Amino acid sequence: MKTRKVEEGKTNEGISVLVYASPGIGKTYALQYLPGKTLIIDADNGTKCLSVATNTNKDNIDIVGIGKDACDIGSILAELESGNVKYDNVVLDTLTELDRALLTYCGRLGKNGGAPELVHYNRVAFRVADFCRSLRNLTANGINVIFNTWEQEGEIIYPSGEKVSILKPMLSGKASPTTICGLCDIIARLEISSKDDKTRFYRMSGNGGFFVRDRIYQREWCPIDELLGPKTEGEKKNEPK
């Protein structure tokens, strides 16, 4: 059994990230700031916005679709796992739409007039989690993996019975958001600063009303071009809100 000490770390591994926000906030547009070469698995045909991106790194972005009824997902994953294609970052944009596409496909084959049946939600939840787990495993090869999702409202019930509203990633199945978030090192909500209604930033800490965390760098927030890590270690910045 091969072991290592905690302090040795694994600096050659990639980072797994989940980003969520309402449609139109800029999750896809922000991908132009990822350093290195990026592959976007375009599930919702939302990458058109990158055609007007201003960052020169957008030239290092490749895009692949998931095919009708997400039929290409398996072959895309197999090619990534083979190591025949080399990317610094792999992005699934959006995981929510992949989830919906699979549910729609199941509903079309079912007996509920095209609507998904109850059993389909569990099947899709497990399939999506399995696909995300396989993508997350790419981090062992030094690849950063980012999952973009839409957001939805939910609630947390504390042992005292108190209910607290929370914003969280939008995925079907009761356990899906928790399962997928558990696979990720960073969970961030993309927001627009209230100071100028223009500057975007990633929130990674909240007052209980957000499903967020950064277990790598312990940040509360970061600029849009530092999702995968701070450019200047130790630099203190004021939150843009």
Overall residue count recorded for the chain in this entry: 241
Q: Which domains does the chain have, with CATH numbers?
A: 15-223 (3.40.50.300)
pLDDT at res. 235: 52
Residue pLDDT, tens place only, 84-102: 889 999 999 999 999 999 9
In the three-class reduction of DSSP (H, G, I as helix; E, B as strand; rest coil), residue 102 is classed as: helix
d(CA 115, CA 110) in angstroms, rounded, equals 8
Which residue matches tokens 């990534």?
80
Computed over its alpha carbons, how large is the radius of gyration of the chain?
18
pLDDT at res. 169: 87
Residue pLDDT, tens place only, 139-164: 999 999 999 999 988 777 778 878 87
Q: In 43-136, at which residue ranges do the beta strands (DSSP E only) sit? A: 61-65, 89-93
Give bridge partners of residue 152 from the DSSP assignment. Answer: 168
Reported pTM: 0.88
CB 228 within 8 A of CB 237: no
Instruction: Give yes or no for residue 7 having a pLDDT over 70.
Output: no
With cut-offs at 50, 70 and 90, classify the pLDDT of residue 187: very high
With cut-offs at 50, 70 and 90, classify the pLDDT of residue 27: very high
With cut-offs at 50, 70 and 90, classify the pLDDT of residue 10: low
Residue 47's nearest CA partner among 103, 14, 91, 89 is 91
CB within 8 Å of 178: residues ≥ 6 apart: none
CB 135 within 8 A of CB 77: yes
Alpha-carbon distance values, 225 to 39, 49, 57, 154, 174 (Å): 17, 17, 11, 29, 32
pLDDT at res. 161: 78
CB 187 within 8 A of CB 211: yes
